Chain A
């Protein structure tokens, strides 16, 4: 036991109960998990990432490196939560992590012992790279699982997260990041301008370092200023205040990303904020000192211990030692002493601390050890004594050690301005010797870094900077920010720091406490030749834990610079990346999960298919009916039955997913002549024509059927997949290349339902359904278009065939789609009509030898699909020039062929390569590939389409479709791709 409830601080008197590892504990309302655990005297709260060393509470804020816990249990549990950043709620379940059976007795801490005994110890820098190289096959079976068991932090729940998360898009004129004294001042100043102001802070209360100060300091003047300012901001309706909100990234166009913990009906909000101006008042955080066992529970950042005392009313211990290299920790010692806690020693590594501070210690009777360092923290679970020693004048060695008893060690290695947001904005931080830390020395456009975030630690100076920034920001937006009243009491910000990057003594000196990276690891990476800080970071994994190196970065860079014998400025810093704090995936996903992950596009007949018990398949955003199984049928039985039914009777398929584009204007025909390889200006009204479009590079872009509805009006269909790109292509042509063409194009894909009726009885079915239309071959020939009406529905019927049977496509308004569909089904009953799905549609078109996206994959030319003859010689069209390229004209290119399995029941795998060798072997001569396959009920044979070098001249040849990965080698006969009705008798019948 070391910590205890000392006074009230700012938290309420009301008590709550929560549990830690199953044990019920008391907390005060307003306590964080960390302050409540400390108030209950709990020192060890978990075990470390790699070495399973005992871990306690190391801070009082977002920089926490030790107290990572799991909150809750089951599906809602949150692993790796920083105990310092979550308020205790009544009944909250908190558990320690990474230890078994308990944090105090952890059996895996053997890693720590082994790590100290063996040279090239496990888990030291580069361990993964060097140790587990050989034999490689053991990696997955042994090394990786063992390391995973030993290393790592909390466990991610395996259940789906039942909580709700939201995404919030917001716009603001002035965004202020950080709600300490400077942020509050900037907000209040800017609020007076009437502009929209957004102030966010990651803590649960605004005030920043003001919360570290005793509430009653100077009669409570500071506290009153803080409360008054917050109240004034709450009262201003142009100000949005977000606490528990961390701004974790800054992106192009002044976009800020922030994560808000709500814990109400919604758990977290992800804010995407568009800000015109950005004021960065993110403050600074304290750095640890690097000495042996500086990760031991009871060793804590001095400022964190101060906030524990003054804000939460919790003392870090009964008997303290304070260790520092700068002025700031003296006030911590004074506060503790003045509130009745014994400070046994103040150890200052500097030669000459300011006289006023020494006087303050003397008045209080605090023993000061000048030019002295703590070499080691000692104790079993928590610190019980420290070894201190004189520091040599050159800083390179220490004298005899002496022991001081204590139960908490508070340390301060200086302060690191939080420059991440400025760095994300494109301003690289530079090293400032004055404060021994990195700062931004120039401001990016629309951005002001102020106060501690910019290296200015004084209260009044910081507020002045913040108000100046608010004024400048508002002025750029043609508004005026006001001066504000500063608190009458000032806090001096001079650090007088003399860097002490590493105590020159032996033992495990942690640099990155959260990731178990030691000073020795950094030195080792230098000795192994890593020169760049980015490489050192990756080799040692420093700064890669969820604190993103907030406390460790500067110390590591400095140790590296020392090794290299150069300045810290020369060594430089690693790149700051987002997110700078842990962000929940739930927040980023927001409501776009499950069925809302992407929109479902439904065809007008979707519900009919659902009622019919269709099995669906995802195609883009659509879920299309794949087949309609009868009792006991699987996919193979169903599609073969449906395919055969089309060829023998009649069946109908929903083809509403086709892209549909209306093209209108006096130059509509001219546009089509330019985008299609074949002629459309010569197409008579009420006729349809199959067309092929190329890209400018001469490869096929898309195909489809376009019909002419009037002299100046065409109705284009595209493939389902290319519906969007084809429209964008036409728009691009009209707006960029040929603005002189008087044509409008619009997508009407959603407006029209489409259904294909195919089979020998298709004509009879439709004739019965729509008696006032003449479906005879004479008045409605192949490729004809006929218009009609049915109970208020417009009918646009095209006679075309994808299946190779006599077939029609019926288009009607989407609202009437299901009614017309049902009417055709009813009318076809006497002809035994059935619906058929996408699988049968595919089988039919393969039998007929039609190409789709599987063949038109963006790499084939018109010659490759044996359609070079379609290209008009009388006109220019897109792609005409570059399709002439030598390589695209080569006769030896793989060309479309049909493939028929020699053994009729042997399936040909899509993706197989076509070879002449009887065996698959390495380096085989690949002569083509298989693009689509099906079982053909018409031929009672497995068939396929593919591309084969010199294919059309090789009909009759026997070759092999090889799938070496699966050991499949199928003998196939090369045939024409038109397996069925090559003379088109059926479609024209």
Chain B
């Protein structure tokens, strides 16, 4: 069981959460061209290692959270709010 330390609720098991999406993408401007939108919606890197992603605490406080998870080990090194930035590599400590 992955456990996620929600800044509101404390550490909870992942069954309370819903995976959202890749959090490294940037929302394009409304008038951005089709290419940009296409890339934003459909193109994903299949990262082997540290990955920023959104999780929804659906069965808790219902906050959307930004989570840094290692896709190889499932270790979660950082949890914040959607507009927080994780500390630089090396400084991370859960």
A interface residue numbers (CB < 8 A to B)? 251-253, 255, 272, 274, 426, 696-697, 724, 728, 731-732, 735-737, 739, 876, 880-882, 884-885
Contacts and interface: CB of A to CB of B under 8 A. Distances in A.
28 contacts: A252-B74, A253-B1, A253-B2, A253-B3, A253-B13, A255-B1, A255-B3, A255-B13, A272-B1, A696-B40, A696-B41, A697-B42, A728-B58, A731-B64, A732-B20, A735-B63, A735-B64, A735-B82, A736-B54, A736-B64, A737-B27, A739-B82, A739-B83, A876-B30, A876-B31, A882-B34, A882-B41, A885-B38
B62 A426 contact: no
Contacts of A426: 73
Contacts of A732: 20, 54, 56, 64
Contact of A252 (B1, B37, B54): B1
A447 to B, nearest CB: 13
Given A253-B1, A882-B38, A728 B32 contact: no
Contacts of B85: none
B28 to A, nearest CB: 8
A876 B29 CA distance: 10
B24 interface: no
Given A253-B74, A728-B56, A881 B83 contact: no
A739 B63 CA distance: 12
Contact of B18 (A251, A728, A735): A728
Contacts of A251: 1
A272 B14 CA distance: 14
Interface string B63-79: 11000000001100000
Where chain A touches its partner, the secondary structure class is mixed
Given A253-B74, A728-B18, A881-B32, A274 B38 contact: no
Contact of A731 (B3, B27, B56): B56
Contact of B82 (A736, A881, A885): A736
A737 B83 CA distance: 10
**Across chains A and B, which 4 residue pairs bring their CB atoms closest together, nearest first?**
A876-B30, A881-B37, A255-B1, A253-B3
B1 to A, nearest CB: 4
Interface of B: 1-3, 13, 18, 20, 27-28, 30-32, 34, 37-38, 40-42, 54, 56, 58, 62-64, 73-74, 81-83
A876 B34 CA distance: 14
Contacts of B54: 732, 736
B5 to A, nearest CB: 11
A697 B41 contact: yes
A745 B1 CA distance: 30
Contacts of A731: 56, 62, 64
A146 to B, nearest CB: 43
Nearest to A674: B30
Contacts of A885: 34, 38
Contacts of A252: 1-2, 74
Nearest to B42: A697
A166 B62 CA distance: 29
Contacts of B58: 724, 728
Nearest to A882: B37
Given A696-B41, A735-B63, A274 B56 contact: no
A724 B56 CA distance: 12
A975 B54 CA distance: 46
A724 B59 CA distance: 11
B51 to A, nearest CB: 15
Identify which of A252, A882, A884 gathers the most chain B CB atoms within 10 Å of its CB: A252
B15 to A, nearest CB: 10
A985 to B, nearest CB: 40
A791 B42 CA distance: 54
Contacts of B13: 253, 255, 274
A47 B62 CA distance: 56
A74 B19 CA distance: 44
Contacts of B81: 735
Contacts of B74: 252-253
A426 B28 CA distance: 40
Nearest to B28: A881
Contacts of B20: 732, 736
Given A697-B41, A732-B54, A882-B34, 16 more contacts: A251-B1, A252-B1, A255-B1, A274-B3, A426-B73, A732-B20, A732-B56, A736-B20, A736-B82, A737-B27, A739-B82, A876-B30, A880-B30, A881-B32, A882-B38, A885-B34
A739 B82 CA distance: 9
A739 B64 CA distance: 11
B85 to A, nearest CB: 14
A696 B27 CA distance: 11
A894 B44 CA distance: 30
Contacts of B31: 876
Contacts of B27: 736-737
A249 to B, nearest CB: 11
Identify which of A255, A736, A884, A885 gathers the most chain B CB atoms within 10 Å of its CB: A736
B75 to A, nearest CB: 8
Contacts of B62: 731
Contacts of A881: 28, 30, 32, 34, 37
A701 B71 CA distance: 29
Nearest to A444: B73
Nearest to A257: B1
Contact of A884 (B3, B34, B56): B34
Nearest to A880: B30
Contacts of B82: 735-736, 739
A159 B78 CA distance: 49
B19 to A, nearest CB: 11
B38 to A, nearest CB: 7
A876 B37 CA distance: 13
A433 B82 CA distance: 52
Nearest to B83: A739
A876 B83 CA distance: 23
Contacts of B34: 881-882, 884-885
A536 B38 CA distance: 46
Contacts of A884: 34
Contacts of A739: 82-83
Contacts of A876: 30-31
Nearest to B56: A728
Nearest to B57: A731
B36 to A, nearest CB: 8
A739 B30 CA distance: 16
Contacts of A880: 30
A611 to B, nearest CB: 33
A724 B20 CA distance: 14
A859 to B, nearest CB: 15
Nearest to B54: A736
